[in-house]
Amino acid sequence: MTLHVDQYDEVAESYQQADLTAFRTLVEAHSLLDTLGPADGLRVLDVACGEGFYTRRFADLGAGQVVGVDSSAEMVRLGRSAEEEQPRGIVYHVHDAARMPVLGEFDVVAATYLLHYAVDLDHMRAMCDAMAANLRPGGRLLTLIPNPAMDPAGPGSGKYGFTLDWPLHPVDGDPATLNVAVGGSTVSVSLRYWSERTYREVITGAGYTDVRWHPLRVSPDAPRAFFDDYLANPHAVLVEAVAPRGGSY
């Protein structure tokens, strides 16, 4: 199934049950949380928080304030329901990241898998502006994005529970598809390919500085050989950038 409008409302529960645990824990979360560093007392805004996978991690790691934002009401419902079951003090809001108001002055804005859902460059620019407006001067944006250098004909990530497809020679705005294994079936969501140059231009255009491009890395606790195929053709990259001093919004 490939959905175009509120696609995550349709797949929220499936995504929550996706078979991604090893990859997410040993590669993705390891890379993100290692780059985040100590979370004690941090004010963290998790944009495109989904059902709260990382939102809860930030709270569990000792963040002082944690707010989650997602455009999918269904994803936010799942996040709130986990919060009711086990309260951590997380507050969730439904907003498109591009139209998100100022919700606080955060030390860190995390956006794991957001920018590629921008339908055009203005949409992506508005997301980056709204996230900057929520960061304290000098605060950090940590965003996981699809790796524009991923070769769709290279080693795939099927054995890790997902695949990402785009044309062999993609250009900005080309449609792409993420396929996620859930039990015995597959859930597909639509996104767009954007080049490294475009991501960098949009992020720096929103006033962020010190843009750093971190390849994902494997936890020392992981069975390293299992992730060799992933590291040969990683589907994602972690981008870190420092918020405008004084804000650009």
Ligand X SMILES: C[S@@+](CC[C@H](N)C(=O)[O-])C[C@H]1O[C@@H](n2cnc3c(N)ncnc32)[C@H](O)[C@@H]1O
Which of positions 3-32 make contact with ligand X (CB under 6 A)? 8
Q: Which is nearer to ligand X, 138 or 215 (CB)?
A: 215
Q: Judge whether 87 and 80 are in contact, CB under 8 Å.
A: no
Shortest spacing between CB 245 and ligand X, in angstroms: 26
Site string for ligand X, 35-74 (x = CB under 6 A): -------------xxx--xx---------------xxx--
Site string for ligand X, 72-111 (x = CB under 6 A): x--x--------------------xxx-------------
Judged by CB under 6 A, the number of residues near ligand X is: 17
Q: Which is nearer to ligand X, 70 or 240 (CB)?
A: 70
User: Under DSSP, is residue 5 helix (H, G, I), strand (E, B) or coil?
Assistant: coil
Q: Output Rg (C-alpha) for the chain, integer angstroms.
A: 17
Q: Which is nearer to ligand X, 43 or 235 (CB)?
A: 235
Q: Which is nearer to ligand X, 50 or 139 (CB)?
A: 50
Q: Which is nearer to ligand X, 49 or 142 (CB)?
A: 49
* Spatial separation of the C-alpha atoms in residues 144 and 237, rounded to whole Å: 6
| Residue 172 touches ligand X, criterion: CB under 6 A | no
**Phi-psi category of residue 204: left, alpha or beta, with phi > 0 → left and psi -120 to 50 → alpha:** alpha
Q: Among 132, 114, 136, which residue's Cα sits nearest to residue 123? A: 114
Q: Judge whether 58 and 47 are in contact, CB under 8 Å.
A: no
Residue nearest to ligand X (CB): 50
User: Under DSSP, is residue 122 helix (H, G, I), strand (E, B) or coil?
Assistant: helix
Residue 12's contacts (CB-CB under 8 Å, 6 or more residues apart) are 50, 51, 72, 74, 75, 77, 78
Which of positions 106-165 make contact with ligand X (CB under 6 A)? 112-114, 117
What are the residues binding ligand X (CB under 6 A)? Answer: 8, 48-50, 53-54, 70-72, 75, 96-98, 112-114, 117
